[in-house]
Amino acid sequence: MKQVRIKDIAAKAGVSIGTVDRVLHNRGEVAEKTKEKILAIARDMNYQPNIVAQALTAKKQYHLAALIPRGGNDNVFWISHPQGIDKALKDLRPFLVDIKYYFFELHNETDFMLKSQEMMNDNPEGVIFAPILKKESVSLCAELDQRCIPYIFIDTYIENANCLSFIGEDAYQSGRVAASLIDYGVNPQKDILIVNIAKDLENTQHLNRRNQGFMSYFLDTGKNRGMKITVEIPSTERSIVDQKMDYILQSNPNISAILVSSAKTHVIARYIQNKKMKDILVVGYELTRKNVDYLKKGVIQFLIGQKPMEQSEKAVKKLFDYLTARQMPAKREFQPVEIINVENVDLF
């Protein structure tokens, strides 16, 4: 499809190229009737500004910020996001774009607030962040809105926020996908355990949405009639995990399947392997190295992925497009839900 140029709009409107340029870039005085005519023609012709040419000509430096959890140890999922951001920066290399990282400890409200304030003190022109801690993120959004700083959510979505866009999974729907996998693989009379590894589940938005989707499946169409038992484990420390899991499994011997609602599925897989448990169907989230190891060993049967590198890469590019050409992205862009088992894991 041929790209519409300013000269094409000028020819159709019967005005000079300079007049069209002034209207499209809001520079100088143009009669209101002429302005309306040019804008209408531009819309009809589906004119898209040449972002590359504009940004290169302007030679403006864009200072962006990324506020995300620190990856590593048992929190390996968040190692992938900086890789996606760095890839986007390489693609945008002709332009003057830099991103400063502000890493906070996952589920640590105090650290999130400290890093948020540090970020705001640096006055970024655009922000990419994971609003995992709902209350604290709502407060940050209000400050970003007040200062007219555009921001994009990754991983987690907060309703009624003024974000430019959200890029990530439909957490509710992914919970239903997890439920369907368990429903097909477990006896209808057996109980199901939902494990949430979080310090404050109520304030952890994406885990809540997954749980809601999971439960909705069984209320709607699920065949399983066993109990759905939920346990919240505040730490990945082995002694705490062992204590919580020992108690819940001894108290509920009919449990035959486990959903781990986060990327820390390997923590529960480690427990199952150490206890030499058999005939437990385990479904969890994210294609991390530790999770894949247990998938290949047969301890985990299914993983659900959401392409974290692609999330952050897209977020950078959408924010750049908005800052350079005011291109509004879609409010939500859901990543496709990937179902991974031992048969297809090497394809990812």
- How would you write 12-54 as a 3-class SS string? HHCCCHHHHHHHHCCCCCCCHHHHHHHHHHHHHCCCCCCHHHH
- Count CB atoms within 10 A of the CB of residue 263: 26
User: What pLDDT does residue 251 have?
Assistant: 97
> 179 near 220, Cβ under 8 Å?
no
* pLDDT < 50: residue spans in the chain: none
56-168+308-335 against 171-305: fold identical: yes
Buried b (16+ CB within 10 A) or exposed e, 21-32: bbbbeeeeebee
Euclidean distance between CA atoms 50 and 4, whole angstroms: 10
Burial of 233 (0-12, 13-18, 19+ CB in 10 A): buried
pLDDT digits (tens, 9 = 90+) for 319-340: 998 998 788 889 999 988 899 9
Nearest Cα to Cα of residue 289 among 269, 310, 315, 260: 269
User: What pLDDT does residue 1 have?
Assistant: 53
E strand residue ranges, 190-254 = 191-197, 228-233
User: What pLDDT does residue 52 have?
Assistant: 54
Which overall architecture, per CATH, does domain 171-305 show?
A: 3-Layer(aba) Sandwich (3.40)
- Take residue 35 and report the two structure tokens written for it: 């302005």
User: What pLDDT does residue 55 have?
Assistant: 55
**H/E segment holding residue 87:** helix 80-91
- The residue type of 193 is L
- Take residue 11 and report the two structure tokens written for it: 């020819």
Q: What one-character DSSP code corresponds to residue 279?
A: S
- CATH tag, 56-168+308-335: 3.40.50.2300
Sheet containing strand 61-69, edge to edge, reads 96-104, 61-69, 126-129, 151-154, 165-168, 332-334
- Take residue 325 and report the two structure tokens written for it: 């050409």
- Take residue 252 and report the two structure tokens written for it: 């509920």
User: What pLDDT does residue 59 have?
Assistant: 66
> 74 near 236, Cβ under 8 Å?
yes
Domains in the chain: boundaries: 6-48, 56-168+308-335, 171-305
Question: Based on C-alpha coordinates, what's the Rg of the chain?
Answer: 24
